[in-house]
A and B are shown apart, each in its own frame.
Chain A
Amino acid sequence: MSSLRGDPTLGVAAAPAARTGSRLAARRRGRLNWTAVSMLAPAVVALLAIGIVPLVRAVNTSFQEFVVSRAQTQGTPYTGFDNYRTVFTDGFFWRSLLRTGQFFLYAVPLQVVLGIAIAALLTSTRWRTLAGLTRILLVVPIATTPTVVGLIGRLVYDQEFGVINWAIGLIGLGPVSWTGNPNVVLFTLALTDTWQWTPFVALVALAGLTAVPQDIVEASRLETSRWWDTFRHVQFPYLLPGLTAILIIRTADILKLFDTVFVLTRGGPGVSSELVSLYVQRVGFRFFNLGVASAQAILLLIVCIVLSRAYIKIFYREIES
């Protein structure tokens, strides 16, 4: 069962179901169940072929000197940990990781605060129809093709005719060089990311807030007139599992982030918006140094594995039986 640990209502509902399942299954345990094998095998074999084989290949490549332009004439000899040594002393790689962290710090706190505010607004308002419509519209940014988000960014952030510079000009600001100024560009990307992913935070927070029993909220409103007290002590505990999920998933997604940034800035100006996945892509597919790029990818993979283990540990404890 997928219930959130720490969510009282869901946890209770999940437990008996899991128990019935294991009792029924116990009867079948002990012998190889060919039906189960025939149902699982295609998916497992397919995922092994497309999931594990490439990883093995990446590990293999990471120990080779593999520059595409030289591979034909000089081959791809194994060079031990040379590529990893290169990566560890490569300032560009570590700065791209640092930049990715910086981007996270610009984007995610803003998204969390805005997302919770939106969820609070939509659960508290009396205008249910409007709130319901808004809830559906929240999926618009999430579902918008990230590549197209980057293209729209190029349009609206344009220094000369962009609508954003025109809008801030109305209140006497700007014009800002949104994608041309190395000191501004990360903020611009975070703003773009905030448009696309705040709705995700809001929807997760909405799920949390809807689970709060309304009578407890009413009761606490009688106890205290301060909005903050009710939020902090009654509603926030229900938001916490969702927020944990968001922190881990957004970390993973920002490490993955490529398309929006690539289309909007190509990592520039210079390397000032080159997040880690853009840098790996540049080393691999523009310098065609596949050995070094694979070593970078393996280091990134380790981070991904740590994140997924943490996520699984926190959210799927019940089925681990």
Chain B
Amino acid sequence: MSYETIVGLEIHVELSTLGKMFCRCKNPTLADKPNTTTCPTCLGLPGALPYTNQQAIDSCVKIALALGCKINKDSFFERKNYFYPDLAKGFQTSQFLHPFGEHGKLEIEVNGTKKTIGITRVHMEEDTGKLTHSRLDGKDVSLIDFNRSGVPLVEIVTEPDIRSGEEAKEFLTRLQRIIRYLNVSDADMEKGHMRLEPNISLRKPGETKLPKYKVEVKNINSFKFVDKAIKYEQKRHEQLLEEGETPTQETRGWNEFKNKTVSQRSKEEAHDYRYFPEPDIPPIEFTDSQIEILQTQIPELPDERRKRLAKDYGIKNLDAEILTREKAQADYFEDMVEIGKRHGIKATKIASYLINKKVDVKDTPPASVIKQIVEEENIETIDDSKLEQAISEVFEQNIQAVKDYKSGKNQVIGFLIGMVKRALPEAKDNDQIRKKLTEMLE
């Protein structure tokens, strides 16, 4: 029997704010030595209290707005109570009842089919410390680094609208682009800025209700692994269902070396987090004008921009898609188009140049690339008869090469071009020489 796969995603995004979520410590980088960017608040010392970082709240609201969420004007933080050695206070300051954003959506396209994925919620919370299990002086030890403790974290939860690993990957790719466009996080997977948790279950075709179970795969750090984990789980569930069993509701982890998921925690150990409103932080209220101001700070997002570039500049849809993957690249393209106008260079030419030559947009000024294009366009062609004469001479001197070409060794053309250029130094346009050479070799 073929089954339908039901996937919902939970994504944690570490924000790139200057400071931490509830204290004045700097938001650390991986280069900081362990436990050097800490204070009483993020260490959870007695008497320490949280003080909210407005930049982080604004960033979270921007993500929510970019995903089309409704912003809760009356929101508050809540305590999520659980014990873990990396959780300094014994609770995580998070949001439960009233996340900053709810009911959003994001459109994806897989194999030419468009689809809308619902966004359940976008909320603000703080990261935990980091546990490392290692050996020290011959003993097994667990080390805690609290640098990450209190780093602002945005959690994005989707509706169970995703049906395949490909869809999940596409959704994540688009989400990552949006977050980068907003400039609220580097969203660098390798640095753990984005952590992914798919919830997977299978149902019989035609069923409309959600399956009675779901399996959560925790803390995956690449889109490829999300795809693989979903595919692995699909097979595993299918096998169990075929045998008449229901897969166990549990949390599993992705093992990238074994290419499989492994069971971590079953439902029996599920937590009761005892959420309640965080009494140390007053409720967070937004006015319409505050939301409007944040809305104006949101740049044109990748999807709209792709459409506009294709329409306004007449470039290919695929080119527009490639150019808008990163905001810097798209900005660069539009800067070049502006300069190119003065030199009569078309947007389509610029688009293909940028894509094919893989221009380093960080370190090359757009004007210098335009200059390069202009130079290449202006390469003088020379008189055909002069060229023909030179080519004839080259043929006479390189009979073997001509023979080789005729027997199918096309690569000798490069050698012949070189010989022509040596015989006729004013011939500079490779394309012209190549064209003439092939003509005369036929």
A binds B: no
